[in-house]
C-alpha cells in the first residue's frame, strides 16, 4: 500500500442501500488495515476551509507577547493558545516544533456540560478568527458523526450508537503552526511519532507535506490527499473500545528537507472526543477466543486525563 484508501461520504448519505453498504465496508476494512482514509463528500466547503486558514495565519502572525496573552493557565491547554515546544509526544522529552490554538465545544441544551468544559477564548486582534473557527468546528463535527455512524454499523452496533456521546462531546479543533526551522533541531521534529487520544481525527489539508503513517510492516508512508479530501484516522479511544479491531496507527510530522526549513507549515486537525462519562470498555462484539479482552475498563474522561499528563500538558 503506497497511500491511504479513498472513500466518499456521499455514498453513505445516499438513499442507495448498496452504496451505503459499500462505504461501510470500505472504511471499516481500511481502519482495520491501516487506520487512515482520505474522505471526500464531507460537509466542510472549500470556501470555509480557505477562510479558516487565512484567519489562522493572521493569528499566528501576531507578536509572541500578544499570542501568549491568550495562554490560559490551569486547564491543560484545552482552550486558547499553547506556546512553542510545550507539548511532546508520549515517551519523548523534546518538545515538538509547533505552537497551536484550541477551539472547543459550544454546548447546546446541557447546562452540566457547559459547566464542565472551559469556554472558548476570543481573540480581539483578529475579529473573524473565532466565528470562522466555530463554524468549521460544526462542519467537521457533523462529518465525524456520520463517519462514526458508519463505523457503528461495521462493528455490529446500532447506527446511532455514538451520537449520544459525541453530540456535545469534548471535541477539539486545533489549528497548528510549525514555524520555519532556525538552526539544527537537536533531535526534535515537528510532531514526533504518536497515536491520537480520541475516537477519530479529521485533518483539513495541511499547507505543506510532512505527515507520515506507519504501516503494519513498520514502514513510513507519506500521507497525500486531494485538496477536497479530509484525512481521517482512528484514535486510541476507538482502538481500545473495539479491542484493537480498528487500528490507531502511529503517525508523525517530519521536518522538511533543509532547503525548505525557511517555510512554515500550518495544519488543522479536529479531534473527535466523546463526553467524559462514555465507557471505553472493550465491546463484547469485538471479543472472542482469538481476540481476548486487551484493556482494563476506563471512562473517556479518565483516559484523556491520563494521556494529558503523559504529554506534559497537565501535572
pLDDT (average), residues 210-232: 85
Regarding predicted confidence, which is higher, 113 or 226? 113
Looking at the chain, list the stretches that DSSP marks H as alpha helix, in order from N- to C-terminal side. Answer: 9-13, 17-33, 46-60, 64-68, 111-116, 129-154, 163-166, 236-241, 300-310
* Residues 97-147: tens digit of each pLDDT: 789 999 999 999 999 999 999 999 999 999 999 999 999 999 999 999 999
Mean pLDDT lowest for which of 16-30, 159-173, 208-222, 267-281?
Answer: 208-222
CB 40 within 8 A of CB 71: no
* Residues 142-163: tens digit of each pLDDT: 999 999 999 999 999 999 999 9
Judge whether residue 304 has pLDDT over 80: yes
pLDDT (average), residues 48-58: 96
Regarding predicted confidence, which is higher, 157 or 74? 157
Q: Give the C-alpha separation, 191 to 285, whole Å.
A: 34
Residues facing residue 200 across a β-bridge: 234, 272
Judge whether residue 21 has pLDDT over 70: yes
CATH class given for the domain over 6-310: mainly beta
At 201 the three-state DSSP class reads: strand
| In the chain, domain spans | 6-310
Judge whether residue 165 has pLDDT over 60: yes
* Residues 180-209: tens digit of each pLDDT: 877 666 655 556 678 899 999 999 875 446
Q: Is 183 exposed, middle or buried (0-12, 13-18, 19+ CB in 10 A)?
A: exposed
- What does the DSSP 8-state code read for residue 285? G
* Residues 242-290: tens digit of each pLDDT: 999 999 988 887 766 677 777 888 889 999 999 999 999 999 999 999 9
At 209 the three-state DSSP class reads: coil
Mean pLDDT taken over the chain = 89
Query: What pLDDT score was predicted for residue 178?
Result: 86
Query: What pLDDT score was predicted for residue 310?
Result: 80
Q: Give the C-alpha separation, 296 to 280, whole Å.
A: 9
User: For 121-138, b where at least 16 C-beta lie within 10 A, e where not — what string?
Assistant: bebeebeebbebbeebbe
Q: How far apart are the first and last CA of the chain?
A: 40
Judge whether residue 90 has pLDDT over 60: no
Amino acid at each position: 500500500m503506497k497511500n491511504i484508501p479513498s472513500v466518499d461520504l456521499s455514498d453513505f448519505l445516499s438513499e442507495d442501500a448498496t452504496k451505503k453498504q459499500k462505504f461501510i465496508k470500505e472504511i471499516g476494512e481500511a481502519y482495520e488495515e491501516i487506520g487512515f482514509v482520505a474522505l471526500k463528500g464531507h460537509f466542510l466547503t472549500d470556501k470555509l476551509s480557505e477562510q479558516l486558514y487565512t484567519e489562522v495565519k493572521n493569528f499566528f502572525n501576531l507578536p509572541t507577547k500578544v499570542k501568549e496573552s491568550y495562554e490560559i493557565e490551569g486547564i491543560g491547554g484545552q482552550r486558547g493558545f499553547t506556546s512553542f515546544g510545550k507539548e511532546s509526544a508520549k515517551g519523548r522529552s523534546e518538545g515538538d516544533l509547533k505552537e497551536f490554538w484550541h477551539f472547543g465545544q459550544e454546548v447546546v441544551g446541557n447546562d452540566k456540560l457547559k459547566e464542565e468544559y472551559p469556554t472558548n477564548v476570543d481573540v480581539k486582534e483578529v475579529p473573524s478568527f473565532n466565528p470562522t473557527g466555530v463554524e468549521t468546528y460544526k462542519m467537521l463535527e457533523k462529518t465525524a458523526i456520520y463517519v462514526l455512524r458508519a463505523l457503528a454499523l461495521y462493528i455490529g452496533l446500532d447506527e446511532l450508537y455514538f451520537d449520544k456521546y459525541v453530540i456535545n462531546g469534548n471535541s477539539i479543533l486545533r489549528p497548528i503552526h510549525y514555524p520555519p526551522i532556525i538552526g539544527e533541531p537537536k533531535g526534535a521534529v515537528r510532531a514526533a511519532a504518536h497515536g491520537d487520544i480520541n475516537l477519530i481525527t479529521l485533518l483539513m489539508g495541511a499547507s505543506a507535506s510532512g505527515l507520515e503513517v506507519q504501516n503494519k510492516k513498520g514502514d513510513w508512508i507519506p500521507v497525500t490527499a486531494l485538496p477536497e479530501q479530509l484525512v481521517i484516522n482512528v484514535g486510541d479511544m476507538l482502538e481500545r473500545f473495539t479491542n484493537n479491531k480498528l487500528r490507531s496507527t502511529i503517525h508523525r510530522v517530519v521536518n522538511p528537507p533543509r532547503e525548505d526549513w525557511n517555510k512554515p507549515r500550518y495544519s488543522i486537525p479536529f479531534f473527535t472526543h466523546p463526553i467524559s462519562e462514555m465507557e471505553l470498555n472493550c465491546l463484547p462484539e469485538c471479543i472472542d477466543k482469538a481476540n481476548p479482552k486487551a484493556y482494563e475498563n476506563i471512562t473517556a474522561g479518565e483516559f484523556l486525563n491520563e494521556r494529558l499528563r503523559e504529554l506534559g500538558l497537565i501535572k
